[in-house]
Structure 1
Amino acid sequence: MTALEDLMRDEWGRLLALLVARFRRLDLAEDGLADAFEAAARTWPRDGVPANGPAWLLTAARRRVLDRLRSEQVLARSMPLLEVEADLAARARRVMADADEPLTDERLRLVLLCAHTRLSHEAAAALTLRLVLGVPTADVARLFLQSTPTMAARLTRARKKLAGERFALPDGQELVDRLRVAADVAYLAFTAGYTPATGDDVVRGDLAAEAVRLVRVVREVRPSGDGDRAGARDALGLDALLALVLLQHSRRDARVHDGALVLLPDQDRSRWHQDEIAEALDLLTPLATAPPTPYLLQALVAAEHAIARTADATAWDRILARYDELLTLTDTPVVRLNRAVAVAEVAGPRAGLDALAGVALPGHRLPALRAELLRRTGDTDGARRAYDAALALCGHAAEHDHLRLRRAELA
């Protein structure tokens, strides 16, 4: 990967947020930053990579935005910086203090701006993933169970709705509502980093860590003291969400070995981050009697894996019970897919295949699971066909290699 590609992956969201904060125009900011990256792609191979690539890109993008403003004859107008509610800024400063961002985190600003009331919840989440965290459109599409062209069109419509919007940071109930969207976005971003659908990385640790960070921020800056039932439920939900991402993120180092994917049963559990597991379990302890929510039930499943000393000691019966509860709250293909894994561990691969009946899910993971379960039943031909279907749909290099090796072992 080139230096410019690294910067696009790591710095796009921060640079875009800074431009939006300065010019208050998402359309201009995105166009200007895209032009800056295009200019870098032309000039850096000839002139060399500058010592401070992000500063170069930000300067170039600002110049292009100013040129656009001049052409629109609006440069004479005052473009004040976004004002952040003092309480929000103070609490955000404690969590996200950064030498380069002394006041507040611009990416949090942009997350809240993308969660505009003009957009639907899903459109806001998809736009945030793409613009703020740089998740590829194909991965965003997979998270929302849509095709890539459909998601690309949806993102375009969302951008148009916000084009020229004069942004102002919310307060009161609108802030609470947007933070709920931000929490959901954070989990989707974590999923994209923890199990990327495309590319060469087994884990995009930078994206997953940024998502964990965003969950912490949302949890910290959420207004407290409202005393209502909805507010209490939101607070508990954020505790459960933080526990969930911490438990999953704790396994990141054990999920890859020499560039190859390592599945959960084969992971070296000594490489799991025990401090993150302990923090998550502390968060879950007070929630033992809380009403079940999707995040809480998923966190409890992850906790079962975390407390098992070995893969064989995993309490799959308790995990299956959690998925049965989860199915009553959110009956989705992903939940049914994960539940089928638990069914197979408790009642055997044939029962797991039966649990997959009627499940429709884009991508390679459904045929990959079907292939594994057919393999366990001894149906070599059926497993081979399922592996072929999964390989044809898999755009993730490490998972493709894993599936190819598993198929080869059938012979």
Structure 2
Amino acid sequence: MDDEPPGRLDEGALRALVPQVLAGLLRRGEDFDAAEDALQEALVEALRVWPDSPPRNPRGWLTTVATRRLVDARRSEAARRRREETAQAEPAPVATEEGDDTLLLLFCCAHPDLSPASQVALTLRAVGGLTTREIADAFYVPEATMAQRISRAKHTLRGRPLDQPGDLAVVLRVLYLVYTAGHVGRVDLAGEAIRLTRQLNLATDEPEARGLLALMLLNHARLPARLDADGRIVTLDLQDRSLWDTREIAEGVRVLQSALAAQTDERRPGRYQIQAAIAALHDDAASAAETDWPQILAWYDDLVALTADPVRQDPAAVLARAVSVGHALGADAGLRETDRLREVIGGQYKWHAARGYLHELGGDLLAAAESYAEAARLTSNVAELDHLVRQAARARAGARRR
């Protein structure tokens, strides 16, 4: 893109340049907050100038203008900070690969001193190139609230070195948080997370990064079947599988196979690869009845083995494993597994919902109705509430018919 004039202003192409230019400024040692502000000013100038006078090198143009803004800011503080002399030297734009740029920015945004909410917001702003308003809409908060959150995050990073390698595991967790935020507002956060994870995989050969991409793709492929015509939740066993995106599934399987092929006896699959393998088994089944539950249970065994105390450290995985036990070994066995979690998450709606599902699987519709009803009482999610109320009503009706 650097060698071709943009011609007609392309908002998508302009957004794609944001992480590249910002990363170049950070590599030179610029402060994150100041660099991001300078780049925003350069983008405003681009929107004004480019339609009539498009540059031959858009990235270089943005870098130069942002650099001038940084120089101007330093000059205005010369009396206090005594940096005018050094600030007048205008560095040349730094050419870096897009994958490296993305990796650097993801590490910056996933800084351990930031809260998870701030990590997600800053990632969407700096790496995703989303506006503050778009991010606010996606999370149903006022724009001013999101602006304060982003501002505080940048302030937290002020003065910290941002050119050192970070923790890839934290980056992956942040991307997964973006993905699980779902599809709300005007921004498809799941789609955005997939795009960012693709870019991350340009810069690293880490199998877990590929595992996360595979997991996202394999789950995202089922999106068209997750809601009915009235917008109500459709559970996996009742989904119309002809609506699943087979191309996305095929890509997810290829990425997963590539990740698993890199494993050795000393380097076992990580959390995202295991979850992707489970998703692949669900996607591979032509119908719910053909699901390979014994193999899914084996993968869940591997997943819970990743933590020393899975009941307390990863109760969601143990609960999902209990459901697979119910399918593979019988509903009573699955219910016994949920009993192990009673003290930890017995007050949460997902625990009661899983119990309802297992009771129904075992044919005890009255107990299923009671569990679904209790789950509905505990949830604060409107869509889940509607779904669980309907599940409870259906189970009661089935019990009466018997």
TMscore range, shorter length: 0.5 to 0.7
CA, structure 1 residues 204+137, in 2 after alignment: closer, same or farther (shift >3 Å)?
Answer: closer
Counterparts of 1:83 and 1:354, CA distance in 2: 65
CA deviation vs aligned residue, 1:169-219 (integer Å, no higher than 9, x gap):
42xxx33x244422221122222227xxxxxx6x99811111111111111
CA, structure 1 residues 292+113, in 2 after alignment: closer, same or farther (shift >3 Å)?
Answer: closer
Alignment partner of 1:251 out of 222, 226, 238: 222
Segments of structure 1 that go 5 or more residues without pairing to the other structure are 1-12, 33-65, 93-103, 140-151, 195-200, 223-233
Equivalent positions of 1:33-112 (< 5 A) are 74=77, 86-89=95-98, 91=99, 111-112=106-107
User: Do residues 182 (structure 1) and 182 (structure 2) align?
Assistant: no
> Match for 2:375: what amino acid?
A
Alignment partner of 1:114 out of 109, 130, 146: 109
Q: Is the contact made by 1:183 and 1:218 (CA closer than 8 Å) also made in structure 2?
A: no
User: Do residues 355 (structure 1) and 337 (structure 2) align?
Assistant: yes
Counterparts of 1:255 and 1:84, CA distance in 2: 46
SS state at 1:256 partner: coil
How much has 1:367 moved relative to structure 2? Answer: 1.4
Counterparts of 1:357 and 1:192, CA distance in 2: 29
Counterparts of 1:160 and 1:210, CA distance in 2: 21
CA, structure 1 residues 138+208, in 2 after alignment: closer, same or farther (shift >3 Å)?
Answer: closer
Alignment partner of 1:293 out of 248, 262, 270: 270
TM-score (norm 1): 0.61
Q: Which structure ranks higher in relative contact order (CA pairs < 8 Å, sequence separation ≥ 6)?
A: 1
CA, structure 1 residues 379+305, in 2 after alignment: closer, same or farther (shift >3 Å)?
Answer: closer
Identical counterparts, % of pairs: 34
Identify the residue that residue 339 of structure 1 maps to in structure 2: 321
Alignment partner of 2:118 out of 127, 138, 151: 127
> Could you tell which deviates more after superposition, 244-253 or 279-288?
279-288
Larger Rg: 2
Counterparts of 1:178 and 1:390, CA distance in 2: 37
Counterparts of 2:153 and 2:320, CA distance in 1: 36
TM-score (norm 2): 0.63
Identify the residue that residue 284 of structure 2 maps to in structure 1: 307
CA RMSD of aligned residues (A): 4.4
CA, structure 1 residues 267+357, in 2 after alignment: closer, same or farther (shift >3 Å)?
Answer: same
Runs of 4+ in 1 over 6 A off after TM superposition: 16-23, 75-85, 135-139
Counterparts of 1:168 and 1:85, CA distance in 2: 18
How much has 1:269 moved relative to structure 2? Answer: 1.4
User: Do residues 275 (structure 1) and 247 (structure 2) align?
Assistant: yes
SS state at 2:269 partner: coil
Identify the residue that residue 156 of structure 2 maps to in structure 1: 163
CA deviation vs aligned residue, 1:384-407 (integer Å, no higher than 9, x gap):
442233112322222211111111
Q: Is the contact made by 1:83 and 1:168 (CA closer than 8 Å) also made in structure 2?
A: no
SS state at 1:329 partner: coil
CA deviation vs aligned residue, 1:285-331 (integer Å, no higher than 9, x gap):
34257222212211111111122111111110000011111111132
Q: Is the contact made by 1:129 and 1:135 (CA closer than 8 Å) also made in structure 2?
A: no
